Structure 1
Amino acid sequence: MSVEVIDWPSAATIAGRLARPGPDATRPQREAVVDGLRTAARRAVPAVLDVTGMRPAPESEATSDRLSEVLVVDRPGWARANARVMSAMTQGLGDGLTEAERAGLARPAVAVMGAVEVGGVLAALSSRVLGQFDPYGQAGLGRLLLVAPNVLSVERALRVRARDFRLWVCLHEQTHALQFAAAPWLAEHLRARTHSLLGSVTEGARTGAGAPVSQRLRTAGRAVVGVARGQGVTGGIMTPEQQDELSELTAVMALLEGHADVMMDAVGPSIVPTVTAIRRRFEQRRDGAGQSPVDSILRRVLGMDAKLAQYRDGARFVRGVEAVVGRDRLNTVWTSVETLPTAAEIRDPDAWVRRVRP
């Protein structure tokens, strides 16, 4: 019987209960956001196909009319969905546990503590994510999760045109859907690479000396969240080799995020009339303008600054490649595992161009 390092069902329940409520809104306002996001998700599809020059692969379940299953969720819904995703990505990590460690995990106090720690992180993140594409959907299509209360909160804070902002967000997420539809091998590549790294990190945390087994297992659970998000792991439990492997995984995630960021702006004012103003105000918010010291600390604790670096590093790579070979040849990056950029190439787009020669 497979044993999980983290009690994921409990983590999902805890995350959903701890997630903060959204901004004050009347029922008609909430319904308008939900309807607006669903409409924006549909409108984004042809725009993304046009601006990227990409198409779903013949073997993909996606089509030129439907790139993803669209789900508009609240904060608890996002937190629970992500717990399920992480559960799928970490399945089997506990198979190497000894009988003593299995018994330790089975203790209610240990199981609850691990679930509380992970659930708390997911709950905190749930108020900061506008949208997310989950490539591991059940119906053959990936799932696009749009977090309605967060979209409403940010568009109010930025004082931007709601219709434009909702479409802008959906352009980013539908670009992710198209990335995985154009490269159907990509989801399994990321799953396998993440699982391999998580297995190595979890084993190191589990067998390390100097702490009780229960504490080491909870540390492994926190490592799961950090690695699955493509970020570092606190506590010094990663070896130099694991850090290098994480850097290569992060390079792929930087490509995904940077490409989506560039494309969501490239649609231009004919699709999103206020795109320039939205980007300017959004970047100011990303840089922490107007945030309290407590919020700045929370950003670092949650790894949001590391995630932001992925967006910017990836965008620089995409723009650098496009400047040399153009957008059509940039799309060579989605051909195979071998054409993905390395960690060094994300920082040096010319090196990727010289190696791949699209």
Structure 2
Amino acid sequence: MVDWDLAVNIGSRLAGRGPEVTPDQAAAVVAELRTAADRSTGLVRDFTGLVAADRSAPVLVVDRAGWVQANADAFSTMLGPVIEKLSEKKGPPNGLAQAVGSRVTGAEVGLLLGFLAGKVLGQFDPFHDPAGRLLLVAPNIVHVERELRADPQDFRLWVCLHEETHRVQFTAVPWLRDHLASEIAALAETVDPGAALEDGVRRVSEALRGGGGGSLLDALGSPEQKQILERVTGVMSLLEGHADVVMDGVGPQVIGSVAAIRKKFDQRRQGIGVLDRFLRRMLGLDAKMAQYRDGAKFVRGVVDKVGMAEFNAVWDGPANLPSKAEIADPDAWVSRVL
């Protein structure tokens, strides 16, 4: 159903190469990012109390094309059960329909990956066997540090603190990966491909005409789907907010210019230009930004009240994860869990 090779080809071409650097500069960036990632492990462990073994998941410093390939591989693995369920519901297509459909879908995925490949600084892929992998996108990190006029060494460590926190989350809390995978599988059970496609096209059309539209994720609108998405939203808000709290908590101890970096970076997160804001809205990236903000507020609210050690009860099992409503009400989570 998806021509992944075409997706990678289109995504890599659309992403471009990024800022110009010499071979020596590129080698220095790669070496420093690896060192910063290794250094971040102990800093995150000391601050959070989560124990994850050193180098339990590989660190890959990649260019934009490498990020596109890695995410196409991840999507292929993650969406396998979803595609299988959709095929069962719709029945096998004929040869021509499959060939054309897979290329159309591959082109759509490629456009998505190409847009995101120029935005992402780092990412932890929890579904890569056996223990996940950490991706650091070197050209994007260099581009943003230059744009913000940030101290390169400080900025690179700051980025690694956030992404290393995700590695620690998934490797110190091994049930988390299977829990997210099960939620994705449960969502696949609810999808009506025809209705989802029709609603998605309608929302894009409305947005292009200046109407409400909403994000493409809003096309999943049944009560059961909304329940699953609310649970996933709670988990992702927790993970992103926790990582932001860690980078802001550790940063002042080891990064001299962290206050200036945070201020400039938050301004940049708002998006640049009309097209960028439109694409962020359609792809649900505005909701992603809200996850950072709301999740960080939840983590700080709980930690300020009971301390980090008590907060870590959130990692004891799926029942202790905050709901979307509890993300907005830390006291409700404390009352229920603690």
TM-score by length of 2: 0.89
Matching of residue 46 in structure 1 with residue 39 in structure 2: no
Contact 2:2 2:101 in 1 (8 A): no
Matching of residue 148 in structure 1 with residue 138 in structure 2: yes
Query: Bigger CA drift: 190-199 or 337-346?
Result: 190-199
The DSSP-based 3-state class of the residue aligned with 1:117 is: helix
The DSSP-based 3-state class of the residue aligned with 1:141 is: coil
Aligned to 2:245: 262
Aligned to 1:331: 312
Contact 2:81 2:185 in 1 (8 A): no
Aligned to 2:2: 6
Matching of residue 68 in structure 1 with residue 64 in structure 2: no
Pair 1:107–1:157, CA change in 2 (3 A): same
Shift of 1:186: 0.5
Aligned to 2:151: 161
In 2: Cα distance, 1:233 partner to 1:295 partner: 16
Contact 1:78 1:147 in 2 (8 A): yes
Aligned to 1:60: none
The DSSP-based 3-state class of the residue aligned with 1:267 is: helix
Matching of residue 303 in structure 1 with residue 287 in structure 2: no
* Residues 78-120 of structure 1: CA deviation (Å, up to 9, x unaligned): 1111111111111133335367542267532221111101111
In 1: Cα distance, 2:73 partner to 2:295 partner: 27
Matching of residue 184 in structure 1 with residue 174 in structure 2: yes
The 5-angstrom pairing of residues 46-195 of structure 1 reads 46-56=42-52, 63=53, 65-96=54-85, 97=87, 101-103=92-94, 106-138=97-129, 140-195=130-185
Query: Bigger CA drift: 38-47 or 265-274?
Result: 265-274
Pair 1:232–1:104, CA change in 2 (3 A): farther
The one-letter code matched in structure 1 to 2:246 is: M
In 2: Cα distance, 1:314 partner to 1:278 partner: 20
The DSSP-based 3-state class of the residue aligned with 2:51 is: coil
Shift of 1:232: 5.4
In 2: Cα distance, 1:297 partner to 1:200 partner: 28
Shift of 1:67: 4.2
Aligned to 1:226: none
* Residues 190-248 of structure 1: CA deviation (Å, up to 9, x unaligned): 011012113422xx123x39xxxxx66x97xx9xxxxxxxx953573532331232111
In 1: Cα distance, 2:126 partner to 2:177 partner: 6
Contact 1:168 1:275 in 2 (8 A): yes
The DSSP-based 3-state class of the residue aligned with 2:94 is: helix
Pair 1:159–1:107, CA change in 2 (3 A): same
Aligned to 1:241: 224
The one-letter code matched in structure 1 to 2:161 is: L
Structure 1 alignment gaps of length 5 or more: 57-62, 210-214, 223-230
Query: Bigger CA drift: 241-250 or 326-335?
Result: 241-250
Pair 1:94–1:46, CA change in 2 (3 A): closer
Contact 2:2 2:103 in 1 (8 A): no
Shift of 1:69: 0.7
RMSD value over aligned CA atoms?
Answer: 2.4
Aligned to 2:211: none
In 1: Cα distance, 2:281 partner to 2:84 partner: 32
The DSSP-based 3-state class of the residue aligned with 2:61 is: strand
Pair 1:241–1:108, CA change in 2 (3 A): same
* Residues 282-328 of structure 1: CA deviation (Å, up to 9, x unaligned): 1111124xx22232223223322111111111101100101111111
In 1: Cα distance, 2:331 partner to 2:120 partner: 32
Contact 1:125 1:302 in 2 (8 A): no
Shift of 1:277: 1.2
Matching of residue 205 in structure 1 with residue 193 in structure 2: yes
Query: Bigger CA drift: 125-134 or 300-309?
Result: 300-309
In 2: Cα distance, 1:71 partner to 1:234 partner: 29
- Determine which of 298, 301, 304 is the counterpart of 1:317: 298
The 5-angstrom pairing of residues 277-292 of structure 1 reads 277-288=260-271, 291-292=272-273
Decide which structure has greater helix share: 2
Contact 1:89 1:195 in 2 (8 A): no
Pair 1:283–1:67, CA change in 2 (3 A): farther
- Determine which of 274, 279, 289 is the counterpart of 1:293: 274
Shift of 1:165: 0.6
The DSSP-based 3-state class of the residue aligned with 1:10 is: helix
Contact 1:333 1:341 in 2 (8 A): yes
* Residues 34-83 of structure 1: CA deviation (Å, up to 9, x unaligned): 11111111111111111111113xxxxxx1x3242100001111111111
Over the matched positions of the two proteins, sequence identity in percent amounts to: 49
The one-letter code matched in structure 2 to 1:346 is: I
Aligned to 1:349: 330
In 2: Cα distance, 1:112 partner to 1:261 partner: 38
* Residues 162-189 of structure 1: CA deviation (Å, up to 9, x unaligned): 0011011111111111111221010011
